[in-house]
Structure 1
């Protein structure tokens, strides 16, 4: 299988005009020139692949500090001199916690902190509701309650 450099070199040679003054062999002087140009295309291609790796905090290397600053990390909860793995865990946790509003989201956040919770949802009083349902006035239409069942204080937020 041809390398990226060979692929670009062959593609550039293939784009040359037809004629005797345009030799198509990779080891000709013109072929070597196309090989030099192909090196730059290969380098750009590799950097584009690196950029894709940097687009998610779990695989970021060069942009790790920028990812941390976007999420306000390290913060006071990070402790004194956290290791790279602890910083990465905190960053991924912060990344995952963005924007959730479902019951499952809040249950998972509580679980990450060591709590086992349930959520009780209330509804506005309406005619024909079943007896025993939790309901109240209009203020209760979007009200919910978190019920904490137990806590595991030894488990840290970042899972270490």
Structure 2
């Protein structure tokens, strides 16, 4: 039942005629304002959890300190928010591998080392000394995720499908130590 009908039922039955043109217009306008407020309140209530945030997803991103990459779809942005909320903190390789596994990625992390006398062998790659601040994340799979347009999970105006791993790259770049550089390699399944 609309709010206009409810407001009409609140009128004294003998004193007012809800179908009178002036009163019907007033009840319609007030009812429409209340209907709009009710829909807005329902959206806010649903956004208590990011799963149903819809138009309020940017607020979740703001609270989590996330800047979505340009062109990221709703599903990618939602996955980034959910990952940010699930993170517990850590700087070890097992932590990052577990975090990626929780997002549905299988990764390996390699830390290139500079050539050192007594440790390196003939044929080893010679790296610069600062290579100790670099780490390589190899993402296993088909070279990235495919995000397809889905009813209830995407919004109007998005591409039918998007390819890429902006989610894993954004999360790991935000959590990595500030003095390090991470680069990503994608390997097909």
TM-score (norm 1): 0.49
Higher relative contact order (CA 8 A, sep 6+): 2
TM-score (norm 2): 0.43
Structure with the greater alpha carbon radius of gyration: 1
